[in-house]
Structure 1
Amino acid sequence: MKVDNQDINSSPQQNNSHMKNNDLHIKKNQQNETNEDQINIPQILNNNEKNSKKQMILKITLFLFFVGIITLIIIFRSELLDEYKNFINWFIKNKIIGFILIVLIYMIGTIFFFPGLILSLGAGYSFYEAYDNKLGLALFLGSLAVFFGALLGSMLAFLIARYLLRSYIQKKAQKWKITKALDQAIDKNGLQICLLSRLSPIIPFNFFNYFCGITGLKFYQYNISSFAMIPGIILYVYFGTLISNISDVINGDFEQGTLYIVVFIIGAVLGIIVLTLIIIKAKKELNQIIKQQEKEQKEKEQLKELENEQKFEENINQIEYNQQQDLKIQLE
């Protein structure tokens, strides 16, 4: 086969020119990417500053809000106490409706992030007063009302997050670094993770209700995990009944005797110890699961990076091979 000398001489030059153009194109792309990074960095910093300012404003607003509420409570404490006494008197006469009302109050409080501790203490105090200082009955009914309220509130929060506010909750969940690992752990061991989180919450209780709604957790598993709230509920309601006795002691109206107070205090201390041990154990197991999940996720990311590097090298080799084949064809 005859090949024209001019074609032979021009082909390597054309190929070299083509390779140079490719190199220039790659360099331009790298330069453009660098310029884009330089442009985006100040923008990212600016966005972070704006977000931090918004968070600071929100924190100050919430702080002032709670300070305002506390101030109003102090100013109008006598009026509030009178109204609360009226509620107790009404509760004594309408025990069934009062029970339902406390359930509804706790349910609404759970949805709107009201501190559950305050509601539980209030329930314990109310039931103890309404049921004529009968500890066993007040503790049982008070805990039952709080549990039903917390259960209904957490169910509604879960459904709201899953079907109404999913994207909004996902953005809020990114504030906690642990949520990604927690989400992946829930996908594998949903019921176990939820039970442990109820016993030892690693993110705020009320937000956890919404967070579960954006995960792959099944609704029935979520509801079963709510039974892990019972130990804490019983203890907080028990403390609420103590408030009534303490106020009676201060006012000089306590008639049960010193032994009764001692038993109450011992019960409270034992309850705190038992609940603390449960929380520590649950937190330890939960942290182990999350650390293992984070480790597995890191290994997956490293493996993915390695695969991407291998694919990149394969593409480079393929390009070089194609160029060599093109050169051979041109030389033939």
Structure 2
Amino acid sequence: MSLFAIGIHRFGLSDLITNFRHLQQLIGQSGTLGYVIYITLFIVATVCLMPGSVLVLAGGMVFGPWLGTLLSLVAATLASALSFLLARWLGRTLLLKYVGHTATFQAIERGMTRSGTDFLILTRLIPLFPYNIQNYAYGLTAIPFWRYTLISALTTLPGIFIYTYMASELVAQGITLPFVLKLSLAGVVLFALVQTAKGYARRKRVELPTKEI
């Protein structure tokens, strides 16, 4: 994994993924091939623990709200599934040697032992842990692959749609009063979603960390 990440940096993909303007131009000028490029870059970014949020925004700006959401959802689901499987294939013993002592892994393993699927749903909706790290950490737990993949897809959809839609609106309208109002509404919706998830956690008596890890 470390060698792969070094290779990504060496060949310039790290700069490409984090250079928003260049990324948008590359995808936009590639036609149908841009779909493949976009999904591939998204998977690479996720597996290498790089920020996928930049790609979600780029997808909204280049592909629009609906196609952008679809492509981002497909890419995010494939990426999380691949990271999950890599954790299983590399082996629990090997990965625990490197990440078993981390607060993130210990909190996830403890939460899954106590609350099972409810804990997975809540940690996907509430930003308590780095999302990409979760993919590897959950791969070390006993949760079935298909259950993990389906829940991940469903719980990431609301956030992906909101970010994609707002990026698309920014391109269409620029920073105008209607855009600012929509952006504010999107923030309220995301806040309400997180609070609803926290309320669900209290009702189900799911113990969550009191702060981000």
Residues 1:174 and 2:101 aligned together: yes
CA distance 1:81–1:181, shift in 2 (3 Å): closer
C-alpha contact 1:169 1:211 (8 A) present in aligned 2: no
Instruction: Tell me which amino acid in the other structure corresponds to 2:197.
Output: A
Q: What is the Cα-based RMSD across aligned positions, in Å?
A: 3.1
Which residue in 2 is equivalent to 1:239?
Answer: 166
CA distance 1:81–1:218, shift in 2 (3 Å): closer
C-alpha contact 1:238 1:268 (8 A) present in aligned 2: no
Residues 1:109 and 2:45 aligned together: yes
Q: Which has the higher contact order (CA 8 A, sep 6+)?
A: 2
Aligned pairs (5 A) from 1:196-275: 196-226=122-152, 227-245=154-172, 261-275=176-190
Note the C-alpha offset of 1:284: 5.2
Query: C-alpha distance in 1, partners of 2:132/2:21?
Result: 28
Q: Choose which of 13, 17, 36 in structure 2 pairs with 1:100.
A: 36
- TM-score normalised over the length of structure 2: 0.76
C-alpha contact 1:158 1:212 (8 A) present in aligned 2: yes
CA distance 1:244–1:185, shift in 2 (3 Å): same
Note the C-alpha offset of 1:169: 3.2
C-alpha contact 2:27 2:38 (8 A) present in aligned 1: no
CA distance 1:195–1:87, shift in 2 (3 Å): closer
Aligned pairs (5 A) from 1:35-114: 84-85=24-25, 87-88=27-28, 90-91=29-30, 94=31, 96-114=32-50
Query: C-alpha distance in 2, partners of 1:106/1:83?
Result: 11
Query: C-alpha distance in 1, partners of 2:191/2:79?
Result: 25
When structure 1 is superposed on structure 2, of 150-159 and 195-204 the one drifting more is 195-204
- The runs of at least 4 aligned residues of structure 1 exceeding 6 Å deviation read none
Query: C-alpha distance in 2, partners of 1:240/1:98?
Result: 18
Note the C-alpha offset of 1:110: 0.9
| Residue deviations 1:232-285 (CA, integer Å, cap 9, x gap) | 111111232244246x67xxxxxxxxxxx4433322221211111111332454
Q: Secondary structure of the equivalent of 1:114?
A: coil
Query: C-alpha distance in 1, partners of 2:68/2:86?
Result: 27
CA distance 1:285–1:173, shift in 2 (3 Å): farther
Higher helix residue share: 1
C-alpha contact 1:235 1:268 (8 A) present in aligned 2: no
Structure 1: unaligned runs, 5 residues or longer: 1-64, 66-71, 128-137, 250-260, 292-332
- TM-score normalised over the length of structure 1: 0.51
Note the C-alpha offset of 1:99: 1.9
Which residue in 2 is equivalent to 1:289?
Answer: 206
Which residue in 1 is equivalent to 2:3?
Answer: none
State the percentage of identical aligned residues: 25
Query: C-alpha distance in 1, partners of 2:183/2:159?
Result: 12
Instruction: Tell me which amino acid in the other structure corresponds to 1:289.
Output: V
| Residue deviations 1:47-98 (CA, integer Å, cap 9, x gap) | xxxxxxxxxxxxxxxxxx9xxxxxx89xxx9xx957854652x24xx2x322
CA distance 1:200–1:86, shift in 2 (3 Å): closer
| Residue deviations 1:259-318 (CA, integer Å, cap 9, x gap) | xx4433322221211111111332454475126xxxxxxxxxxxxxxxxxxxxxxxxxxx
C-alpha contact 2:56 2:72 (8 A) present in aligned 1: yes
Which residue in 2 is equivalent to 1:276?
Answer: 191
When structure 1 is superposed on structure 2, of 274-283 and 202-211 the one drifting more is 274-283
Which residue in 2 is equivalent to 1:185?
Answer: 111
C-alpha contact 1:181 1:290 (8 A) present in aligned 2: no
Query: C-alpha distance in 2, partners of 1:104/1:278?
Result: 29
C-alpha contact 2:27 2:37 (8 A) present in aligned 1: no
Query: C-alpha distance in 2, partners of 1:103/1:85?
Result: 15
CA distance 1:126–1:274, shift in 2 (3 Å): same
Q: Secondary structure of the equivalent of 1:290?
A: coil
Note the C-alpha offset of 1:179: 3.8
Residues 1:149 and 2:85 aligned together: no
Q: Secondary structure of the equivalent of 1:289?
A: coil
